[in-house]
Amino acid sequence: MAWWLDDVRSDLPGIHEAASGLVFHYTARGDITQHGFAAGRIAEIDERYADVLLARLHELDPAPLGGDRAPTDRVVGCCRDSTLLLVALARHHGIPARARVGFSMYLEPEWAMDHVVGEVWDRDEARWRLVDAQFAEHDAVDVLDVPRELFLAGPEAWAQCRAGLLDPDRFVVSPNRKERFLRSWPQLTHNLVQDLAALNKHEMVLWDVWGLLDDETVDAEELAPKLDGLAEILHAPDLTLKQILSLFADPDWRVPETVTSFSPAALGPAPVTLRPE
């Protein structure tokens, strides 16, 4: 689908404008059928590859990317999908970009909510910018330069909670979701490992689990020191590509050929075989 991306403006505002108009969040506005979507389109939330999402978008509306799209001409997805498309567009135009999995401090007062944003390299300022592709704009933040204190990537969130600086019970998928594994330490663990995968260009679906995340026999207290070490390295300001690749070589964290997906669109967990690398 690369040919379809050429006409998108190659600057960050243009890339963000295009990406932020391509996904209709599957829960943010209630039941999708109330907005004209067929009920079966909820299955789109499990599409995991950028080319598949782009092909579906082209099928829905082949007009150039970046223009206004009817809600039902967007793919049904979430923040992860908006970020994946942002990253794909940025890389296509030669801008280094990656997804970061963590927690937003600006979506709900008093809560740190499960969220994914892009991290885009600003050559002029020689720094990484956090870019929220889910929103065209947001009252609380500059979506093209989200302050670091308002989005905590998985390693930083873990480290601050372990240090007692933040309350782990504030960290949730949603304040309304009461399942234990979607809150506090289980969710902090999940996002820490997902963030390592994203740094290694494995932008996983948010309900994927693998390795130690998918092992019910693991004792949480025994695992904590290893997670501390992972977070400490990933959170270091002098983090290198060699360290990122080395951490991902550990079979406890590395994404295998088959993962378990707990899709909200399915009746229960299911194995998913990924494309070969």
pLDDT at 217 over 80: no
Q: Encoding tokens for residue 127?
A: 């720094």
At residue 277 the predicted structure's pLDDT band, cuts being 50, 70 and 90, is: confident
Mean pLDDT taken over the chain:
95
Per the structure, the count of domains in the chain is 1
pLDDT at 221 over 90: no
Residue 156 has a pLDDT of 97
At residue 56 the predicted structure's pLDDT band, cuts being 50, 70 and 90, is: very high
Task: Cite the beta strand spans of the chain per DSSP E.
Answer: 23-25, 75-77, 97-104, 112-122, 127-131, 151-153, 171-172, 208-209, 258-261, 270-273
The whole domain housing 71 covers 1-78
For 224-275, write each residue's pLDDT tens digit.
Answer: 999 999 999 999 989 999 999 999 999 999 999 999 999 999 988 999 999 9
Q: Percentage of the chain with pLDDT > 90?
A: 89
Q: 3-state DSSP call for residue 264? A: coil
For 70-107, write each residue's pLDDT tens digit.
Answer: 999 999 999 999 999 999 999 999 999 999 999 999 99
Residue 258 placed within a domain: no
Buried-exposed string 104-119: b where 16+ CB fall within 10 A, e elsewhere:
bbbbeeebbbbbbbbb
Residue 178 has a pLDDT of 87
Residue 193 placed within a domain: no
Residue 70 has a pLDDT of 96
The Cβ-side half-sphere exposure at 197, using a 13 Å CA radius, reads: 26
Q: Encoding tokens for residue 277?
A: 């690398």
Residue 215 has a pLDDT of 81
pLDDT at 218 over 80: no
pTM of the predicted structure, to 2 decimals: 0.96
Residue 42 placed within a domain: yes
Residue 214 has a pLDDT of 87
For 111-154, write each residue's pLDDT tens digit.
Answer: 999 999 999 999 999 999 999 999 999 999 999 999 999 999 99
Residue 40 placed within a domain: yes
Residue 246 has a pLDDT of 96
Residue 104 placed within a domain: no
pLDDT at 219 over 90: no
Residue 58 placed within a domain: yes
Residue 130 placed within a domain: no
For 22-49, write each residue's pLDDT tens digit.
Answer: 999 999 999 999 999 999 999 999 999 9
Residue 142 placed within a domain: no
Sign, Cα dihedral of 42, 48, 54, 59: negative
